[in-house]
């Protein structure tokens, strides 16, 4: 079953939560779990491919930072995606997942010599971040041709979305060559003129909080620069445009908006020549492919009142919902309440805060929400958590990482689970905290 409709997704999620409780994947002994809707992920990939259909060659890559779990990456590899990586860890995860070198794009503003040498030797596409890195690659190539595509990241400086931290095309962004700085465009053109092996431009405006017209404006700047470079050099040196990802996700309701089709329509209006086939296109979507398909389920341990406000204490807090806890206005999550059997709760509502287990007052995943009455033993579900929440764990209070399961549902509502990542044991937390070197500091006395 591969429908990506919001109605199907909601029904599948309810079935998965109930089955997780029934199977003991979520309960008093396992009070926290991550669940990923495999059909929802595949439907998102299908929608992405369909939106970009046309004469242009397109390589869609998944931004590994959005969910660095090998089984998830392997699912996306099997669905035909490439992978964008930004660290040695992400690179090794992608290779372990089965991505071949020619389906990888290596981005990072801080690539080391060793990392560049590896990418150059294996034909991995690289987006260089600055002129110093370009000079470093000159030395590494030593006159030989690179085995894979090499591009330059540019910052179109088109401004910020509503979340500054997620906006990468501001006047002072740390990423890429700032095109509106004095002399920058001429320096970029000269760099391409002196390096025939430079054959791509890369621009990424940002992600959550960035409206589609702003993203399109950044892509247009990169496109126009590519046109100017090829014209001034008198040759089609730039053959590919990496237009990044960054499609915002709707965290307010079940609906998918904006869609990939909306994004492409905006690009066609702003940059009509982008899709005519002159340039191969590379994308780097992450959050938008997974977010709506993920759910974090947590048992409610206690309920209480403070200052007239009801509080439900759960096991899901800043350790799994880091951005939501520290930037609640920018990253609000929808919340569902289920009974101890995993069935949706109904009846009179109450205003309640949903708290996590971390030892600081701000560890809240939802504040002042009107929800069905929450009782100890109930299950609270945090929706739209398929990207970042499963793999970007915050080790506050040495809380262990929860298990993650993928699931599929058939036409009869039956659920099948597959383990994506085992729950971290408390022993594992201790070992990770330096157990094998327990006497190291004492020995210095």
Q: Does the pLDDT of residue 445 top 90, yes or no?
A: no
**Residue 163 in this model has a pLDDT that exceeds 70:** no
pLDDT at 363: 98
pLDDT band at residue 1 using 50, 70 and 90 as cut-offs: very low
Q: Are 122 and 101 in contact (CB under 8 A)?
A: yes
More confident residue, 333 or 1: 333
Query: What is the mean pLDDT of the segment spanning 94-113?
Result: 97
Structure tokens at 109: 């503003």
Tell me the pTM: 0.95
Of the given ranges (1-5, 111-115, 271-275, 410-414), which has the lowest mean pLDDT? Answer: 1-5
Separation between Cα atoms, residue 384 and residue 365, nearest integer Å: 13
Closest CA to 63 of 243, 222, 257, 218: 243
Q: State what percent of residues in the chain have pLDDT above 70.
A: 98
Q: How confident is the model at residue 206 (pLDDT cuts 50, 70, 90)?
A: confident
pLDDT at position 170, please?
76
Tell me: the pLDDT tens digits for 220-268? 999 999 999 999 999 999 999 999 998 999 999 999 999 999 999 999 9
Residue 4: its pLDDT value, please? 58
- pLDDT at residue 166, rounded to an integer: 67
CA dihedral of 153, 156, 157, 163, whole degrees rounded to 10: -70
* pLDDT, mean of residues 409-432: 96
Comparing 106-120, 201-215, 267-281, the range with the smallest average pLDDT is 201-215
Structure tokens at 91: 């690179």
pLDDT at 2: 37
Q: Average pLDDT, stretch 100-123?
A: 97
Q: What is the mean pLDDT of the chain?
A: 95
Exposed / middle / buried, residue 230 (Cβ in 10 Å: 0-12, 13-18, 19+): middle
Average the pLDDT over 186-214 and give the result: 93
Mean pLDDT, range 128-147, rounded to an integer: 96
Lowest-pLDDT range of 1-10, 67-76, 322-331: 1-10
Q: Of 99-103, 168-172, 378-382, where does mean pLDDT reach its minimum?
A: 168-172
For residues 87-105, average pLDDT: 98
More confident position, 263 or 164:
263
pLDDT digits (tens, 9 = 90+) for 308-367: 999 999 999 999 999 999 999 999 999 999 999 999 999 999 999 999 999 999 999 999
| pLDDT score at 167 | 67
Q: 382 pLDDT exceeds 70?
A: yes
pLDDT attached to residue 442: 96
Characterise 114 by phi-psi region: left (phi > 0), alpha (psi -120 to 50), beta (else): alpha
């Amino acid at each position: 079953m591969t429908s990506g409709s919001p109605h199907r997704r909601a029904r599948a999620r309810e079935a998965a939560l109930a089955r997780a409780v029934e199977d003991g994947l979520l309960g008093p002994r396992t009070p926290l779990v991550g669940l990923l809707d495999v059909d929802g992920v595949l439907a998102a990939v299908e929608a992405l491919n369909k939106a970009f259909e046309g004469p242009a060659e397109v390589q869609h890559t998944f931004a590994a930072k959005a969910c660095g779990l090998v089984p998830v990456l392997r699912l996306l590899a099997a669905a035909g995606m490439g992978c964008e990586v930004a660290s040695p860890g992400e690179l090794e995860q992608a290779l372990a997942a089965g991505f071949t070198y020619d389906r990888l794009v290596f981005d990072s503003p801080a690539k080391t010599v060793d990392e560049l040498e590896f990418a150059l030797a294996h034909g991995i596409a690289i987006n260089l971040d600055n002129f110093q890195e370009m000079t470093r690659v000159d030395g590494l190539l030593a006159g030989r041709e690179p085995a894979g595509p090499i591009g330059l990241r540019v910052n179109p400086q088109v401004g910020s979305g509503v979340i500054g931290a997620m906006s990468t095309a501001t006047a002072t962004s740390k990423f890429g060559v700032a095109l509106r700085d004095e002399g920058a465009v001429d320096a970029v053109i000269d760099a391409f003129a002196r390096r025939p092996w430079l054959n791509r431009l890369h621009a990424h405006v940002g992600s959550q909080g960035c409206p589609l017209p702003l993203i399109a404006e950044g892509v247009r700047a990169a496109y126009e620069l590519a046109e100017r470079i090829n014209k001034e050099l008198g040759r089609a040196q730039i053959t590919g445009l990496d237009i990044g990802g960054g499609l915002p996700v709707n965290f307010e309701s079940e609906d998918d908006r904006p869609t990939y089709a909306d994004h492409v329509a905006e690009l066609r209006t702003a940059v009509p020549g982008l899709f005519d086939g002159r340039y191969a296109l590379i994308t780097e979507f992450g959050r938008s492919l997974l977010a709506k398909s993920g759910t974090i389920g947590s048992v409610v341990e206690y309920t209480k009142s403070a200052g007239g406000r009801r509080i439900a204490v759960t096991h899901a807090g800043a350790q799994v919902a880091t951005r939501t806890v520290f930037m609640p206005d920018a990253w609000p999550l929808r919340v569902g309440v289920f009974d101890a059997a995993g069935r949706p709760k109904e009846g009179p509502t109450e205003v309640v805060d949903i708290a996590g287990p971390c030892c600081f007052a701000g560890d809240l995943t939802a504040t002042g929400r009107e929800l069905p009455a929450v009782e100890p033993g109930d299950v609270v579900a945090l929706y739209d958590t398929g990207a970042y929440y499963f793999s970007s764990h915050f080790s506050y209070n040495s809380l262990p990482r929860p298990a993650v399961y993928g699931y599929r549902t058939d036409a009869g509502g039956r659920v099948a689970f597959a383990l994506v990542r085992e729950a971290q044991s408390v022993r594992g937390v201790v070992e990770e905290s330096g157990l094998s070197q327990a006497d190291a500091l004492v020995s210095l006395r």
